[in-house]
Amino acid sequence: MMKHRKNPREIYLATDNRKEFIHGIQAGIPIGMGYLAVSFTMGITARNIGLTPLQATVMSLACHASAGQFAAMNIIASSAGFLEMAVTSLIVNLRYLLLSSSLSQKISPRTAFGHRFIMAFFVTDEIFGISSARQGYVNPFYMYGAAAVAAPSWELGTFLGASLGSILPPSIANAMNVALYGMFLAIIIPPARKNRFIAGLVLLSMAASLFCSSVSPFSQISEGFRIIILTVIIAGLAAVLRPVEMEAGETRGEAKETSTQVQ
């Protein structure tokens, strides 16, 4: 396991970076589509609470977080204090702590701090999702490629929604609402098909999520907390039942070793 630290090939080559950037752009296109739909709605909400298109777009540019931005707009609309804004933002976005921790193990330990600071800016659910689905280590340029398409779509959608209100035909806007969920399915189902344990995990997660969102008193829990609590419990349970290193040929560590050789 230690040998990859010494492997000079782990330092990304310029050609790899370019290739990974292009792969990222390709994966970023469906994300951008979904973002247009969601951020459009966000722009309309921003307009409704009295934000200018510029303010709404700056918020999207600075946050890249859907639930986080809706919560922030709520705080602005109610003129609550800055402390409340900070605490609410922390709670609503706490899952990124888990996602970023997971991502920290998905990138090469040698990844420079500069890259880590930039990557952190683009850890959205979707970009995290496609990065986790990569074989082996994620090259930072893969994330940058995805972000190069996805982030401007997010800003553009917000701007259009805030300046024009609803312009898309309702039937199209309605259909685009599932774009991001479709992407999540494309990330979790293929590995579930190959691995029964992951299949069980995905089904259990969905069942638990359905249960907690519809049965009182669990349904009182906010969506943000539901995601965090269920992730901690179910992923924790999975880690106890099936520690990854014991599954020969399926651990991420092994995948990393192979990909290191490929790179």
Name residues contacting another protein, limited to 211-240 (CB under 8 A): 213-214, 223, 226-227, 230-231, 234-236, 238-240
For another protein, the closer of residues 17 and 195 by Cβ is 195
Please, what is the minimum distance in Å from the beta carbon of residue 16 to another protein? 21
Q: Which region, judged by CB under 8 A, interacts with another protein, from 16-24, 96-104, 150-158, 159-167?
A: 96-104
The answer to whether residues 149 and 29 touch, using CB atoms and an 8 Å cutoff, is yes
- Could you say which residues in the range 22-81 bind another protein, by CB under 8 A? 26-27, 29-31, 33-34, 50-52, 55, 58-59, 62-65, 68-69, 72, 75-76, 79
**Of the candidate residues 16, 53, 96, 164, the single one contacting another protein (CB under 8 A):** 96
- Could you say which residues in the range 143-172 bind another protein, by CB under 8 A? 170-172
Please, what is the minimum distance in Å from the beta carbon of residue 136 to another protein? 13
Q: Residue 193, interface with another protein (CB under 8 A)?
A: yes
Q: Which region, judged by CB under 8 A, interacts with another protein, from 12-20, 148-156, 157-165, 241-249?
A: 241-249
For another protein, the closer of residues 31 and 42 by Cβ is 31
Q: Residue 185, interface with another protein (CB under 8 A)?
A: yes
For another protein, the closer of residues 14 and 141 by Cβ is 141
Query: SS3 sequence, the chain?
Result: CHHHHHCHHHCCCHHHHHHHHHHHHHHHHHHHHHHHHHHHHHHHHHHHCCCCHHHHHHHHHHHCCHHHHHHHHHHHHCCCCHHHHHHHHHHHCCHHHHHHHHHHCCCCCCCCHHHHHHHHHCCCHHHHHHHHCCCCCCCHHHHHHHHHHHHHHHHHHHHHHHHHCCCCCHHHHHHHCCHHHHHHHHHHHHHHHHCHHHHHHHHHHHHHHHHHHHCCCHHHCCHHHHHHHHHHHHHHHHHHHCCHHHCCCCCHHHHHHHHHHHC
- Record the tokens describing residue 208, joined without a space: 């638990």
Q: Residue 120, interface with another protein (CB under 8 A)?
A: yes
d(C-alpha 106, C-alpha 86), whole Å: 29
Q: Residue 210, interface with another protein (CB under 8 A)?
A: yes
For another protein, the closer of residues 15 and 59 by Cβ is 59
Amino acid at 262: V
The answer to whether residues 24 and 144 touch, using CB atoms and an 8 Å cutoff, is yes
- Count, residues near another protein per rule CB under 8 A: 109
- Could you say which residues in the range 125-144 bind another protein, by CB under 8 A? 125, 128-130, 132-133
Please, what is the minimum distance in Å from the beta carbon of residue 178 to another protein? 4
